[in-house]
């Protein structure tokens, strides 16, 4: 299956969203009052189109609140008829899917702890076969774009066309400012490979605390992600799950007010951007040609070293080169860390080529000249 050509229904055709989708609601449905109060306030804001609530909660460790289960599905149906908001719940088993379908839920999402398991994803996908329901697939807890893409493909294979990914960050054991590191390169890679899959960012589970939500939300817009899923609770401190990261509906409205929606498609009159991009294209072309020329010389040196039986890695020269290049680069306004990484990468590739020459008499590219 080529992810480039997936036949996906654009978000705005089914989620009633404008330029970007806003999905909000409590981490967990706790009571009918809590659900209806939150949904009413969110509907009042006017920018939220999907109401989310976890009703079967996948808990990392046993003993914590596991959600209100089927009873909460009735409250979600009430939200829908009272506010007109679309409703979304997390599903972790085929039974959850059946119950959600029976209660007219509009969107189901597959959680991060479920996406990691292809067997369960397959079972959930089978339960979705032949339905029109919308499905969102959260990234797996570990930073593996293929596992994420695989889950999306399994859902696509059963005929689901209202499909999106949710970027909720990636777990790391190491301490970091984030609850789950955003690692934007992963959703960007997913977009590169599957450009038609919309991606909703979940700043709540990425940041784990309210202060970091606005920054993540803005970054999501700047990186052309397609919407936001934010956890909202009328009384965050007393929430039964994820109390540290939930915000009130009023705070959500403030955050939405503060976001800057920058234009995605520069107009055809925007020739400044066009001119600058052409310059970048030209410079990149030169950069690649210079790199290729450098590698050709590396190969020549490799052949010489082989002939004279000289070792490939000459530590003294490498150290000296690195410090000289960093000095020159920093004087040109480039960051030391960036220079170190790029020079190391070029050096590693040079060693790899010379190693091939030592072993086979030529680097993989030598035959092409």
Residues that bind ligand PEP (CB under 6 A): 27, 54, 58, 90, 111-113, 138, 168, 205
Interacting partner of 226 out of ligand PEP, Mn ion, none (Cβ under 5 to 8 A depending on kind): none
Q: Which does 69 bind (CB under 5 to 8 A by kind): Mn ion, ligand PEP, none?
A: none
217 makes contact, choosing from Mn ion, ligand PEP, none, with CB < 5 to 8 Å by partner type, with: none
HSE of 52 in the Cβ direction (CA atoms, 13 Å)?
30
Closer by beta carbon to ligand PEP, 35 or else 112: 112
Q: What is the torsion angle, in degrees rounded to the nearest 10, for the CA atoms of residue 171, residue 176, residue 178 and residue 182?
A: -60
Task: Tell me if 27 contacts Mn ion by CB under 5 A.
Answer: yes
Q: What are phi and psi of 53, to 5 degrees?
A: -160, 135
H-state helical runs in the chain: 11-14, 32-45, 70-83, 94-102, 112-115, 118-128, 145-157, 185-193, 203-207, 213-222, 249-258, 271-308, 315-331, 336-360
What, of Mn ion, ligand PEP, none, does residue 111 touch, CB below 5 to 8 Å by kind?
A: ligand PEP
Q: Quick one: DSSP state of residue 8?
A: P
Q: Tell me how far, at minimum, the Cβ of 362 lies from ligand PEP, in Å.
A: 49
Residue 239 or 357: the one with the smaller Cβ distance to ligand PEP is 239
Count of CB atoms situated within 10 Å of the CB of 58: 13
Q: Which does 112 bind (CB under 5 to 8 A by kind): Mn ion, ligand PEP, none?
A: ligand PEP
- Residue with smallest beta-carbon separation from ligand PEP: 111
Nearest to 143 by CA among 100, 173, 175: 173
CB of 205 to ligand PEP, least distance (A): 4
Interatomic CA distance for residues 68 and 236, integer angstroms? 18
x/- track of binding to Mn ion for residues 233-272 (CB under 5 A): ---------x------------------------------
Nearest to residue 209, comparing CAs of 245, 170, 255? 245
Q: Interface residues with Mn ion (CB under 5 A)? A: 27, 242
């Amino acid at each position: 299956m080529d992810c480039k050509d997936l036949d996906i229904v654009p978000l705005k055709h089914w989620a009633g969203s404008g330029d970007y989708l806003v999905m909000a609601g409590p981490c967990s449905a706790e009571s009918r009052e809590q659900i209806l109060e939150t949904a009413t306030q969110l509907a009042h804001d006017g920018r939220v189109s999907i109401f989310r609530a976890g009703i079967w909660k996948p808990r990392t460790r046993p003993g914590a609140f596991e959600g209100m289960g089927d009873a909460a599905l009735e409250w979600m149906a009430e939200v829908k008829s009272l506010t007109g908001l679309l409703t979304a719940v997390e599903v972790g088993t085929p039974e959850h899917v059946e119950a959600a379908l029976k209660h007219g839920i509009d969107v189901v999402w597959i959680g991060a702890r479920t996406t990691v398991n292809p067997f369960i994803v397959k079972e959930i996908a089978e339960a979705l076969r032949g339905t029109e329901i919308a499905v969102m697939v959260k990234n797996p807890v570990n930073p593996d774009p293929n596992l994420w893409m695989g889950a999306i493909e399994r859902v696509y294979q059963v005929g689901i066309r209202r499909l999106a990914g949710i970027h909720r960050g990636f777990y790391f054991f190491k301490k970091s400012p984030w609850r789950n590191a955003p690692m934007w390169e992963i959703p960007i890679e997913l977009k590169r490979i599957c450009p038609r899959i919309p991606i909703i960012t979940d700043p709540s589970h990425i940041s784990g605390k309210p202060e970091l939500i606005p920054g993540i939300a803005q970054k999501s817009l700047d990186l052309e992600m397609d919407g936001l899923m934010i956890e909202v609770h009328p009384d965050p401190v007393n929430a039964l799950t994820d109390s540290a990261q939930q915000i009130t509906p009023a705070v959500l409205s403030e955050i939405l007010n503060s976001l800057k929606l920058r234009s995605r498609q520069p107009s055809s009159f925007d020739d400044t951007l066009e001119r600058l991009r052409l310059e970048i294209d030209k410079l990149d072309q030169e950069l690649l040609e210079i790199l290729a020329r450098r590698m050709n010389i590396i190969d020549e040196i490799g052949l010489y070293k082989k002939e004279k039986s000289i070792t490939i890695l000459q530590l003294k020269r490498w150290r000296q080169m690195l410090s000289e290049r960093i000095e020159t680069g920093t004087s040109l306004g480039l960051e030391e860390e960036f220079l170190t990484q790029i020079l190391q990468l070029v050096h590693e590739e040079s060693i790899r080529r010379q190693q091939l020459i030592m072993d086979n008499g030529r680097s993989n590219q030598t035959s092409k000249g």
